[in-house]
């Protein structure tokens, strides 16, 4: 083997050693520390004590980005990202919560089983647009119908002896109606759907 081939072989060995550390290992989540953004994972191995602390975010104590919190006692695949015992989860069996935070303050988006919370949830739930449009249309139609009936209404008036005669209302007629009636596009935001 000449010098060039020897150098190439040595570089391959270095790469292979680094890739060995990046290989995934299966394990079971034994505990989750949400404030520290870490989890304790028991690796599936023959070692008696094979528990490792695993990062849930790229940088400890940085709560920006996407943070996935696994369920305790769920299966995971972890990876030693730097070959020095810094593990992260790369596959999740069960997820308890996902948090996406783009800036400081409340999480931009938090997903748990049965709930999605945006920007801290202080604005309550999203509007069910089709149901709201149906209710608004019912009110608009009722009001328009009442305006028509009001304008067509006459009173019987008897100025003296004899048969009462119909006369026009003494108040001015209502000239407005609700038009156009509300439709879903008036209310919905196409950037947020559920």
pLDDT of residue 58: 78
C-alpha distances out from residue 116 to 48, 50, 194, Å: 40, 35, 9
Last residue of a domain, one of 75, 96, 117: 96
DSSP per-residue letters across 139-173: HHHHHHHHHHHHHH-EEEE-SSSS--EEEE-SSPP
Structure tokens at 93: 């069996």
Q: Are residues 142 and 63 in the same domain?
A: no
Return all residues near 9 (Cβ < 8 A) that are at least 6 apart.
Answer: 1
pLDDT of residue 166: 66
Give the single-character DSSP code of 126: P
Mean pLDDT of the chain: 78
Q: Are residues 64 and 145 in the same domain?
A: no
pLDDT of residue 80: 82
Q: Are residues 15 and 80 in the same domain?
A: yes
pLDDT of residue 77: 92
| Distance between CA atoms of residues 92 and 138, nearest Å | 48
pLDDT of residue 111: 84
| Distance between CA atoms of residues 106 and 93, nearest Å | 27
Last residue of a domain, one of 96, 116, 151: 96
Q: Are residues 80 and 153 in the same domain?
A: no
| Distance between CA atoms of residues 78 and 82, nearest Å | 12
44 or 2: which carries more pLDDT confidence?
44
pLDDT digits (tens, 9 = 90+) for 127-149: 778 888 888 888 888 888 888 88
Sign of the C-alpha dihedral computed for residues 30, 32, 33 and 37 taken in this order? positive
Last residue of a domain, one of 52, 75, 96: 96
C-alpha distances out from residue 131 to 73, 180, 184, 187, 190, Å: 41, 18, 9, 11, 16
Q: Tokens 């919560």 belong to which residue?
A: 97
How many structural domains compose the chain? 2
Q: Are residues 59 and 133 in the same domain?
A: no
Does the pTM surpass 0.75? The reply is no
The CATH number of the domain holding residue 22 is 2.40.50.230
Structure tokens at 80: 């030693």
pLDDT-derived band at 150 (thresholds 50, 70, 90) equals confident
pLDDT at residue 190 greater than cutoff 60:
yes
pLDDT at residue 7 greater than cutoff 60:
yes
pLDDT digits (tens, 9 = 90+) for 52-80: 899 888 776 677 788 899 999 999 999 88
pLDDT of residue 41: 94
Query: Are 134 and 142 spatial neighbours (Cβ–Cβ below 8 Å)?
Result: no
In a domain, 115, yes or no: no
Residue 77's domain comprises 3-96
pLDDT digits (tens, 9 = 90+) for 11-67: 766 665 655 555 678 899 999 998 888 999 999 876 656 888 998 887 766 777 888
Average pLDDT over residues 92-105: 84
């Amino acid at each position: 083997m000449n010098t060039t081939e020897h150098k190439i072989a040595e570089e391959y060995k270095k790469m292979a050693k680094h890739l060995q550390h990046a290989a995934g290992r299966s394990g079971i989540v034994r505990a989750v520390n949400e404030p520290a953004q870490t989890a304790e994972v028991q690796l599936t191995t023959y070692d008696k004590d094979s528990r490792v602390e695993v990062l849930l975010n790229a940088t400890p104590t940085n709560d920006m980005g996407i943070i996935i919190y696994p369920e305790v006692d769920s299966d995971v695949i972890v990876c030693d990202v730097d070959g020095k015992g810094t593990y992260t989860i790369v596959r999740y069996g069960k997820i308890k919560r996902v948090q996406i935070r783009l800036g400081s303050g409340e999480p931009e988006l938090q997903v748990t089983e049965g709930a999605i919370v945006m920007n801290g949830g202080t604005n309550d739930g999203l509007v069910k647009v089709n149901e709201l449009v149906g209710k608004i249309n019912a009110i608009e139609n009722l009001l328009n119908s009442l305006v028509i009936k009001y304008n067509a209404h006459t009173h019987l008036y008897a100025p003296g002896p004899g048969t009462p005669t119909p006369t026009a209302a003494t108040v001015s007629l209502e000239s407005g109606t609700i038009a156009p009636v509300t439709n879903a596009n008036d209310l919905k935001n196409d950037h947020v759907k559920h």
